[in-house]
Amino acid sequence: MASIELKNVIKRYGSGKTANQVIHGVNAQIADGEFVVIVGPSGCGKSTLLRMVAGLEEISGGDISIGGRVVNDLEPSERDIAMVFQNYALYPHMSVFDNMAYGLKIAKVPVDEIKARVDKAAKILEIGPFLNRKPRELSGGQRQRVAMGRAIVRQPQVFLFDEPLSNLDAKLRAQTRLEIQKLHRELGITSLFVTHDQVEAMTLAQRMIVMNGGKMEQFGTPEEVYTRPASTFVASFIGSPPMNLLKNAPGALPGRITGVRPEHLDIGDAGWALQVEAVELLGAERLVYGRWAHGAGDELVIVRTEEAHVPPAVGTTIHVQPRAGKLHTFDALTGLRL
C-alpha cells in the first residue's frame, strides 16, 4: 500500500497560444489506505486526473508521487497500480478464472500462487461458482466483480476506479457500492474512485475531491463538503435537491449570496413569504417549490418537508424560517464561501 501525492499537477493539450489547459494545478495528499472519490460533472477533468495517476496520460506540469516515489516518467506497469474501468474490459473468449489470472501469468507468477490469489479474490467477491464461465454468461454486476477481482489478484499499492458502476442499473449500483466498501475494509488498499454521481461520492468516500472546470474546488470529508461547501458550485453540485442559492433573501447584503439547504427551511407562521408553485411527493418526503411572494426577484426556493406534514396547496402563500446556524454566505462575484 502507498500514499499518493499530487503537487501542482497540470495537463494541457497542444502548445503555445493554441494550448488547451484542462487541469489547473491540482494539489492533494491522499493517505496510505485512504479511499478518495474524485467527483464532478462531465468534462471537469476527473478522469483525466485519474489517468495521469495511472500513467495513461502524460502530465504537463507538477509531480505525481506514489509511495513517496515520483512516477511522472514511469510506465503504467511500473507504478504498481491496478485499474477498474467502466466497460469491464474482460476477454470474452477466456473463462472468469483466466481473465483474473491473465496478468499474473504474464508476470510469470507460479501456478500455485495464481490459483491461491484467484480463489481468495473470488471468495471475497462471492464469484467462486462462476470461475469456469465466460463473461457472456454473467450479469453486468458479476462482470464488474470479475473486473475488480482481476485488480485484487495483482496485489497493487493503489486501486484506481474509473466510473466502474456507470453501466449498472440503480439497484445493482447500490449493491455494488456496498461490496466496494466491504472490499476496502478487508484489503485497506489506497483507492481513487472517479464518478459523476454525487450519491456514490457521498456514500463511498472517506474524503472527496470536487472538480470543476479542471480545478479542485474542495477536498474534504463528505460531511465537510456537505455542511461547509467551499463555493456556490460545490453547494449546488453536492446535495439533491441542491442548496438554495439566493441573491434576494431578506436581509442579504449587496454582492452576497445566501445559501440554505431545503431540509433546513421549516414551514411555520413567520419568516420568508413564498408563493407555492408546485409540490412533489417523493415517498417519505415532499419538496415544496415557491417564489418570493412580495416581488423580491424571480428566485425559486425549494423546501423539503417530512411525510407527516400536510403539504401546502399550490397558489397559497407560506412562511418558511431558516434554522439557526444553517445559513451560508458566498461572494456573488467569485462564488467563494465567506
Q: Which backbone phi and psi does 323 adopt, to 5 degrees? A: -70, 150
Among 190, 211, 234, residue at a domain's last position:
234
Which CATH number does the domain housing residue 307 bear? 2.40.50.140
Same domain, 176 and 191: yes
Kindly report the average pLDDT of the chain as a whole number.
Answer: 93
Same domain, 64 and 114: yes
pLDDT confidence of residue 250: 86
* Domain boundaries, position 285: 241-331
Same domain, 129 and 272: no
Same domain, 26 and 168: yes
Same domain, 202 and 93: yes
Same domain, 189 and 251: no
CA angle 313, 318, 323 (to 5 degrees): 130
Tell me the C-alpha distance between 103 and 111, whole Å: 12
Does the global pTM surpass 0.85?
yes
Same domain, 299 and 160: no
Quick count: other Cβ atoms within 10 Å of Cβ 172?
16
Same domain, 112 and 187: yes
pLDDT tens-digit profile of 133-192? 999 999 888 998 999 999 999 999 999 999 998 888 888 888 889 889 988 999 999 999
Same domain, 36 and 10: yes
pLDDT tens-digit profile of 257-292? 999 999 999 999 999 999 999 999 988 899 999 999
Same domain, 18 and 148: yes
- Residue 261 counted as domain residue: yes
Which CATH number does the domain housing residue 181 bear? 3.40.50.300
Same domain, 85 and 228: yes
User: Is 11 exposed, middle or buried, given 0-12, 13-18 or 19+ CB atoms closer than 10 A?
Assistant: buried
| Alpha helices, H only, 68-217 | 96-106, 111-125, 140-153, 170-187, 198-204
Q: What are 29's three cell numbers?
A: 495528499
Among 177, 211, 234, residue at a domain's last position:
234
Total domain count, the chain: 2
pLDDT tens-digit profile of 180-218? 998 899 999 999 999 999 999 999 999 999 999 999 999
Contacts of 201 (CB under 8 A, 6+ apart): 37, 39, 195, 208, 222, 238
Same domain, 220 and 299: no
**Could you tell me which of 114, 25, 92 has the C-alpha nearest to residue 64?**
25
b/e map of 33-65 (b: 16 or more CB within 10 Å)? ebbbbbbbeeebbbbbbbbbbbbebebbebebb
